[in-house]
Structure 1
Amino acid sequence: MEETFPFHYTLMDYLLCLFGLLMSLVDIGLDCWTVVSFYQNEDYVYMAVLIFFLLGSSLLVQVFSWIWYSDTPDDLQTHVEKFVTKHHLLKAFHFMQLAVYLRYAGLVEISTRRFLRSDRLQEGISVNLNHDLFMLRLIEAFAENAPQLTLMMSIIAMGQGLTLLAAFKTLGSASALAASVVTYHRIMREFLPDKRKLKWSSSVVYFLWNLLLIFTRITALALFASVFPCYIIAHFLSVWMVLVLVVWGQKTDFMDSTCGEWLYRATVGLIWYFSWFNVGSGSTKLKNIIYYAVMGLDTMALLGFWQMECDCISLPFRSYIMIIILASLYVLGILLRILYYKKFHPNCDEKKIELHEDKPVMRAAALNECIETDSAKSSDFTKPVTGAQKRMRIMASNFY
């Protein structure tokens, strides 16, 4: 059994963390600017919808963060987290919607200490903190930025023009989505024994196919919402409920409580409404084929309804040209996805995925077969894996 910590938290990971914090602060500034602009222009409906997206996504993130802190109170490793807990400020931070920034502060603190003084244990804690922070950012991206991007694009499609604010907000939301996708890909590298062989070219291809598919989906939703603003709500609720039932059928076990698991399933259903996110173990080829076929048909149906209505509106181009362009981008995205999984994606055996336990560190299999069947040692690892360890294990197993 190995005694050295298998993860490697690099300077690039640290810089990406700081960049993510910067982007988060910029996004908040753009959100405030957008809300004020809607108010000044008396666009109260748009303002209300945007505030709903902002508050709803923030509350969702705070709930996940609070559950994770509550399930594993012993996992508080940084001075920042310990100080907040000692002075009973943890609830206050979550109430004030500051959970993400508390985690950023803890990660920056321990990462800085790790680089100033090489410490493998602190490096491992950095990976744990980075993983949970990434998960919260991913949830926020699809609960806030994806709906915001849909709203801004629908406003543009309604003929109100591409203002400077709309351009900045659209770019900001798209950047947040892209950053969450790339971060997801990069953080999963830590579970590979040969992680240094996974080059940035794989991340570029991974980013491109996600960008094309997500952009096509959001554009179709925005065009449909521009002509049927009320029906888009019914469409979301009907599709989302079906997706949640499908997630339930996957028998997920990501959270440590039943209520938390159902919240996770509902959140995955929201993510699936915009993009694929693997949550089940085993082969995913058939699942992917079914998902992209169904979502492709749904996207084309949305564009078809939009075309029937927009024919009555004066457009600077033929509506079918937009449909052809979006369909082509969707197909190109599928082809890039196939290329990624054929040439770049490391099909790793679960038993080769590296994981960190609270006991001496070891190379472990994802899920249940994580310990060598040595009777002299197996008794030390009978405690079920929970918290960040469990979440990291499941995500790595699902990804590879």
Structure 2
Amino acid sequence: MEEDFPFNNTLFDYLLTLLGLFLYLLDVCLDIWTVVSFYQEGDYGYLSVLIFLLLGSSVLLQVFSWLWYSDALDKLETGVEKFVNRHKLIKPVHVLQLGVYFRYAGVVEISTYSFRRQTDRFSEGVAVFLNHDLQMLRLIETFSESAPQLTLMISIIAHRGKLELITGLKILASAAAIASNIVTYHRCMRAFLPERCQLGWTSSFVYFLWNLLLIIPRVTALALFFSVLPCYIIAHFLSVWMLLVLGAWSQKTDFMENRYWEWLYRATVGLIWYFSWFNVAKGRTKVKSIVYYFIMGLDTMVLMGLWCWMAVEQAGCLKTFDPYIVIPVLLSLYIFGIGLRMVYYRWLHPNCLEPEIAEPHELEDMGREAACYVVEESSQDILPEPPPPAQPITGVHKRKRTMAVNFYS
């Protein structure tokens, strides 16, 4: 199976890696600028919420990054990883909240080496595996920081009753960035599929658009509810989140190496589900997604109804967001997004059988042939020898294939 694994390190993928690093650094700079702005304006309540979101998301990312590294400290491939591990600096790097930068350095190093030297498929495959963990971390960051932060910004605008064109464009750009991160992770998952199932521009655009159309109503409804009932948003989040975590547990996820840390993953899945659907179990997911979107659509409508009821008593909200315009627009976007999603899964989504999804093994197994032949001395007949038993898939290999099977089964 290894020889069929599509390790393709193209110029486009290489540029995407560099662009991702640049955008990540830009996002950090914008976060710092926003924190300073809140401080200068004296909005200490909003400042506290924003700092909590930034620190909470960062700690969550570092924990996942460290756990994934701790599973394979003796199998690090890049020069920067080996150097840091040799000097026992991996844990301090994560304590200093630099784990994501460290991973970016490894991905950029091996991607540059593979692209310039035209090395063998294994080297390019290492870049694919490293990039998978990085993109998984970026996906977690999207729903632990970016989506909540966008919710906070919209709620501030609704509370203050002032919406400018440039602010509206920034909100739309932030929502588009969230949807783009989902598409990037989708593209990363395609590395496990046959060449005929690689991601095209049409399917990428449709995938991006339906995610954008479903995220906007959800985030806006949460923001409007938060703008009129800020004390109840925590109760709403905890109640819905706990139900979603139980839903993840009921699907018997198997993503982490340690079954205790699997609960951290399930809790994170609940956080992602609070904003958007994320498949975590193999098998047909049609019924699961229908139930999810029905429940979340109903919850979104309840939030908008409560906002409309409370906004009547708070004239400032009505100056910026008219319920008779906002609610029909958001419902239309949600319905249209569901329709596009159905179009994507009907005509553009590859439904591959599990054996079609590549199953990489550890480094020592990468050069092993699928079967070898021996000559039997008594009859001189050439008989196929049964292939050696495959080694258990662990670490990033297991994580990547698990998510690919879940995503495309």
TM-score w.r.t. length of structure 1: 0.93
Between the two proteins, the alignment pairs up a number of residues equal to 389
**Residue type of the alignment partner of 1:253:** D
Counterpart residue number, 1:12: 12
Structure 2 counterparts to residues 361-372 of structure 1, below 5 A: none
Per-residue Cα deviation, 1:255-311 (whole angstroms, up to 9, x for no partner): 000221000000000000000000011110000100000000000000000000111
Distance of 2:398 and 2:66 partners within structure 1: 17
Query: Is 1:5–1:121's contact at 8 Å kept on the other side of the alignment?
Result: no
Counterpart residue number, 1:329: 333
Counterpart residue number, 2:359: 355
Query: Is 2:9–2:124's contact at 8 Å kept on the other side of the alignment?
Result: yes
Counterpart residue number, 1:29: 29
Aligned pair 1:62/2:72, yes or no?
no
**Residue type of the alignment partner of 1:239:** V
Structure 2 residue corresponding to 1:386, chosen from 394, 400, 404: 394
Query: Is 2:222–2:303's contact at 8 Å kept on the other side of the alignment?
Result: yes
Counterpart residue number, 2:39: 39
Structure 1 residue corresponding to 2:403, chosen from 385, 388, 395: 395
**Residue type of the alignment partner of 2:49:** V
Distance of 2:164 and 2:304 partners within structure 1: 24
Per-residue Cα deviation, 1:78-104 (whole angstroms, up to 9, x for no partner): 000111111111111101111011010
Q: CA RMSD in A?
A: 2.0
Per-residue Cα deviation, 1:227-280 (whole angstroms, up to 9, x for no partner): 000101100000000000010000000000022100000000000000000001
Query: Is 1:4–1:362's contact at 8 Å kept on the other side of the alignment?
Result: no
Mean alpha-carbon deviation: is it higher for 35-44 or for 191-200?
A: 191-200
Query: Is 1:6–1:363's contact at 8 Å kept on the other side of the alignment?
Result: no
Q: 1:302 to 1:212 in 2, by over 3 A?
A: same
Query: Is 1:131–1:187's contact at 8 Å kept on the other side of the alignment?
Result: yes
Structure 2 counterparts to residues 130-149 of structure 1, below 5 A: 130-149=131-150
Aligned pair 1:104/2:131, yes or no?
no
Query: Is 1:240–1:269's contact at 8 Å kept on the other side of the alignment?
Result: yes
**Residue type of the alignment partner of 1:354:** A
Q: How many Å apart are 1:177 and its aligned residue?
A: 1.2
Distance of 2:312 and 2:342 partners within structure 1: 35
Query: Is 2:6–2:195's contact at 8 Å kept on the other side of the alignment?
Result: no
Structure 2 counterparts to residues 179-194 of structure 1, below 5 A: 179-194=180-195
Counterpart residue number, 1:87: 87
Counterpart residue number, 1:256: 257
Counterpart residue number, 1:307: 308
Aligned pair 1:201/2:202, yes or no?
yes
Q: 1:195 to 1:108 in 2, by over 3 A?
A: farther
Distance of 1:4 and 1:203 partners within structure 2: 24
Query: Is 2:176–2:212's contact at 8 Å kept on the other side of the alignment?
Result: no
Distance of 1:166 and 1:322 partners within structure 2: 17
Q: 1:4 to 1:398 in 2, by over 3 A?
A: closer
SS of the equivalent of 2:253 reads: coil
Distance of 2:231 and 2:16 partners within structure 1: 39
**Residue type of the alignment partner of 1:244:** V
Q: How many Å apart are 1:2 and its aligned residue?
A: 5.5
Distance of 2:162 and 2:367 partners within structure 1: 57
Q: How many Å apart are 1:165 and its aligned residue?
A: 9.1
Counterpart residue number, 1:367: none
Counterpart residue number, 1:155: 156
Counterpart residue number, 1:370: none
Counterpart residue number, 2:73: 73
Task: Report percent identity of matched pairs.
Answer: 61
Q: 1:355 to 1:195 in 2, by over 3 A?
A: farther
Q: How many Å apart are 1:7 and its aligned residue?
A: 2.2
Q: How many Å apart are 1:169 and its aligned residue?
A: 6.3
Per-residue Cα deviation, 1:165-188 (whole angstroms, up to 9, x for no partner): 966864564344123111112112
TM-score w.r.t. length of structure 2: 0.91
Distance of 1:86 and 1:186 partners within structure 2: 33
Counterpart residue number, 1:341: 345
Name which one, 1 or 2, has greater alpha-carbon Rg: 2
Query: Is 1:281–1:397's contact at 8 Å kept on the other side of the alignment?
Result: yes
Counterpart residue number, 1:376: 386
Q: How many Å apart are 1:14 and its aligned residue?
A: 1.4
SS of the equivalent of 1:281 reads: coil
Distance of 1:135 and 1:2 partners within structure 2: 23
Per-residue Cα deviation, 1:353-393 (whole angstroms, up to 9, x for no partner): 123211136999xxxxxxxxx872142x1x32110000011
Unaligned stretches of 5+ residues in structure 1: 365-373
Q: How many Å apart are 1:72 and its aligned residue?
A: 1.4
**Residue type of the alignment partner of 1:219:** T
Distance of 1:302 and 1:363 partners within structure 2: 58
Counterpart residue number, 1:241: 242
Distance of 2:369 and 2:350 partners within structure 1: 17
**Residue type of the alignment partner of 1:90:** I
Mean alpha-carbon deviation: is it higher for 177-186 or for 279-288?
A: 177-186
SS of the equivalent of 2:230 reads: coil
